[in-house]
Amino acid sequence: MKKSFWLGVAAVALLASGASAADLKFKPGEDAKFNWASYDAFKAAHTDLKGETITIFGPWRGDDETLFTSVLNYFVEATGADVKYSSSENYEQQIVIDTQAGSPPNVAILPQPGLLADLASKGFLTPLGQGEADWVKENYGAGQSWIDLGTYKGKDGNAAYFAFPYKADIKSLVWYVPENFEEAGYEVPKTMEELIALSDKIVADGGTPWCIGLGSGGATGWPATDWVEDMMLRTQAPEVYDKWVKNEIPFNDPAVVGGIEEFGKFALTDKYADGGPAGVAATDFRDSPKGLFGVPPKCYLHHQASFIPSFFPEGTKLGEDADFFYMPPYASKPELGRPVLGAGTLMAITKDSKGARAFLEFLKTPIAHEIWMAQSGFLTPYKAVNVEAYGNDTLRKEGEILTTATTFRFDGSDLMPGKVGAGAFWTGMIDYVGGKPAADVAADIQKAWDAIK
């Protein structure tokens, strides 16, 4: 058994109290790309928090903790509050222990909506109120999607809005090398039909369109789940996706089987994927994008989330040596709009206080997003931020995909029970690229879900 919140592995990682101008990454008022007016207005409205302690627990450690600290310092400087942030290597378990023990932080930051829903059902989260939900709907790209992501049933069985979104990740991306496209005369596709036509054109020209790798040690198969989720959002209404991840429609429903087969169009079509189906199954996802950079290239396209440049060759300059485009929707399905698959962190109040409410108000200011945006590793669907504050063009383009999305959905496998989303779904995808029919694979995954009821 771990010790209590402040004494165990979740030992205080940051004391953000007493921030001074020297602690602030960017001096207020000096750089026009920041919305300093939002900071000044917040500061003027929250001058009565001196002496109040606000405890925050979250997943960010190392560099991410340092970046979050740089944001917290502005809140501290504006309010005079004493803010204590902590994290843990096993933060998911720790927050459960602390809430059950009656020693929760004021604010919990979690990237798992399912865990938050469980905490809400046990009465460990404080409803944020309809006003907060209305604000998100008005100010966030695909606002209703984010409201849905933070709405759960409370202990009384009634649904309420419990979790505020802050910091998002995006998965609906296709990476390519601009120089390769230019030399071959290829253009970035705007629709799924054009993407398929481009793939056919590359094959006709004697090339290989895609590098796809599903290898990931004990987690082998997971990259295919992102493919299937992206294809589900491009072939089915968001409500169908929601029913799927909750098992309100079975995994072997025709809609889901169709989503798997949409992935198969890219992974299994003859000459589409480097190494063929066997290569797709055997290639590690970290090695897969390297094929973009060969001379001649082993492939021209790679579907993966925003983190994948970490595995590009050293010295690769994003926007020059490599770039991306939004995984496009089908022109034949305009009713589905511009869906985006991703993930993100959500802020919930686990011990209500004036300071906790003020902190959530701070997160509604553009400056609370722009400070992290200007550094690295931060995307936001908040439409009022100045996109020029992003630290580079790659982040800016990714941020614009979020703010212009009509639908945002969280990674489906992460919302499913672990034995399904991080088990049978992964292995089922390996079976599929190995030649097992999609309907049979889906039936096997459904059996795994049925077995945990």
Fold match between 12-170+341-410 and 173-338+413-450? yes
CA–CA gap between residue 286 and residue 271 (Å, rounded): 21
Give CATH superfamily name and number for 12-170+341-410.
Periplasmic binding protein-like II (3.40.190.10)
Give dist(CA 6, CA 104) in Å, integer.
10
Based on the number of CB atoms within 10 Å of its own CB, is 348 exposed (0-12), middle (13-18) or buried (19 or more)? Answer: buried
- Domain 173-338+413-450 homologous superfamily, CATH: Periplasmic binding protein-like II (3.40.190.10)
| Residue stretches of the chain with pLDDT short of 70 | 1-22, 453
pLDDT score at 5:
32
Alpha helices by DSSP H, 14-123: 36-45, 62-79, 91-100, 113-121
User: What is the C-alpha to C-alpha distance for residues 218 and 426, in angstroms, rounded to an integer?
Assistant: 10
pLDDT value at residue 48 = 86
List pLDDT tens digits, range 19-63.
Answer: 555 589 999 999 999 999 999 999 999 988 999 999 999 999 999
Name the DSSP class of 125.
S
Domain ranges across the chain: 12-170+341-410, 173-338+413-450
Q: What burial letters (b/e) apply to 198-236, b meaning 16+ CB within 10 Å?
A: bbebbeeeebbbbbbbbbeeeebbbbbbbbbbbbbbbbb
Cα–Cα distance measured from residue 194 to residue 301, given in angstroms and rounded to the nearest whole number = 13
Asked if the bond preceding 296 is cis, omega within 30° of 0, the reply is: yes
Residue-level pLDDT at 47: 85
Question: Which segments of 316-403 does DSSP mark as H helices, in order?
Answer: 354-362, 366-373, 393-403
Q: What is the DSSP letter of 219?
A: G
pLDDT number for residue 391: 96
Comparing CA positions, the residue from 130, 104, 131 lying closest to residue 119 is 104
